[in-house]
A and B are shown apart, each in its own frame.
Chain A
């Protein structure tokens, strides 16, 4: 165990997996120099053949991953920012997500599409999006969203070893340093969430960068005598339905904290699952704490207004429990 921030933990996972399996290759814009630190040192360690700097061309990059995977490699396509997924979306939506199905399983596509997502950095609307609602609806790709450095390592290693296209989406800020296992087989299974705080009064389901805020809200609520079952969702496709339904059975109240815009967000889908499969256990409406239906603004004061903060989570729960 050692305390690490998000980007070094991602880097460690990449180093370990590229060491373990020489079919793992990585390419992306500035992969060698590494803009954000995920790929630092990889080119020095594994060479320019396996770690390639690409031109700025997301359209071909996303498609190349499909072709290289079909031909036996395990490509990691590093797309930098989540918004650039849109630039390369044809090959994601029409090829990567469909090819295995259309060919009746003739082909495995072990691809990791990697990007940082979300706001909070005054990066404005074209570098702050949460693209996973669109990805969740494609059907043919997995989507994981680690919340901290430990889950970042465990999920990335699982994503690289998975035989399906996996979107690996992390917050850019990276949160605070966490203890990260040194074990080079430390895997967090895709499709499993983690209950990171136990309580009986309300369930919070949080995604990615919202988990740290939900944890802070949980502490505040504890101080007020409210017990929170906090679930760090980690995987959006597939979703760990058992864990969220079991928690709802225990608490009867659920809020979902999601940095996506509200319309067709992960939160709204989870809400639909819970009302569909666990309606009789609900003591109050399922609430969603999400981003307002706007682009992410540049100004810090505007940005923090539209992205959920700790106080929004606390207020939502207090209203739900009619404590206000």
Chain B
């Protein structure tokens, strides 16, 4: 296991502020989505990232538009972290013409190729090949760009992961396997469907592995730093397993169709406490280790909430897609 305790780069006050603000942006957007879906404010289902913000943000904080990310059905967080436009994401989830995909993709397919966001993905491990292909392109371009596949503990059991690790190691591709182990594969505890430790799966392929507390933004930043530098320096792929917890359901509204519960509410509540929740943890670290105070935090919270409110307003007020657009963007005939 690579040590992440040798901090290679200390985070400045401004770094922490930027990361905190973006994590909060994800949280506030999704709190809105979790509420709004109850009233049927938008079509379709949402899979929320709440509780996992300390993974996407510290990693994407180190990326440029020329770097690629490919993500999961729980993809709003990755989209925002990589610099995706919050208004356009919100409008997409509301199915509007102003959405980043014109209302044709929705929650599970938010993407912005100009920002290097290959997109969320409705197929578990479906983004794996896409990220490897982008890593291959970056390698051939020789531009130092890296490619990240965000995937969950559930996706770690898809065979394509093995194919991806093999080829990335073989070709020394600038790829980062970022496994977000949120402990649940849909509605089943991952320990019931997974043998061994996920991070150990990197070992036989000779891929350096990092295991981090995924609810500690600073630790994730440090591990990501090493992985990103390896990619930029043409040193090949890295594998990070970030341990976290899915505070929300696999999908919102799940108890309207599930026949029984699959976890205790006390377990969920535990992960929302000051000691566990990634945003609360960063908040106290931030106050303790930077020049910023609780008042500054409140100011940031207000700014973020205003921006989310604006995005929601934009989404609600935006027009529906033109019917004719349903036939656009297939192959030309």
Contacts and interface: CB of A to CB of B under 8 A. Distances in A.
Interface stretch (B103-111, B292-300, B310-318): B103-111
A104 B101 CA distance: 5
A69 interface: yes
A49 B137 CA distance: 11
Q: How large is the interface on B (under 10, 10 to 19, 20 to 34, 35 or more residues)?
A: 35 or more
A106 B126 contact: no
18 contacts: A50-B140, A57-B163, A60-B164, A64-B132, A65-B129, A67-B70, A67-B133, A67-B136, A70-B113, A71-B138, A91-B129, A100-B329, A102-B109, A106-B101, A106-B112, A139-B330, A140-B330, A165-B331
A54 B133 CA distance: 13
* 10 residue pairs, one from A and one from B, having the closest CB atoms: A63-B129, A67-B133, A71-B137, A104-B102, A64-B133, A60-B163, A68-B133, A57-B163, A105-B329, A67-B130
Contacts of B104: 101-104
B135 to A, nearest CB: 7
Contacts of A70: 113, 118, 130, 133-134
Contact of B128 (A60, A65, A73): A60
Interface residues of A, number: 45
B328 interface: yes
B126 to A, nearest CB: 6
A140 B327 CA distance: 11
A11 interface: no
Contact of B101 (A62, A72, A90, A102): A102
A185 to B, nearest CB: 21
Contact of B136 (A57, A59, A64, A191): A64
Contacts of B159: 59
Contacts of A191: 333
A95 interface: yes
B113 A107 contact: yes
B133 A71 contact: yes
B137 A73 contact: yes
A75 interface: yes
A298 to B, nearest CB: 29
B130 A60 contact: no
Nearest to A72: B137
Given A103-B101, A104-B102, A66 B331 contact: no
Given A55-B166, A237-B331, A106 B133 contact: no
A25 interface: yes
B160 interface: yes
Contact of A103 (B68, B105, B160): B105
Interface of B: 68, 70, 100-105, 109, 111-114, 118-119, 121-123, 126, 128-138, 140-141, 147, 159-160, 163-164, 166-167, 170-171, 325, 328-333
Contacts of A104: 101-105, 325, 328-329
A256 interface: no
A65 B129 CA distance: 8
A103 B132 contact: no
A60 B167 contact: yes
Contacts of B111: 99, 102-103, 106-107
Contacts of B130: 63-64, 66-67, 70, 91, 95, 99
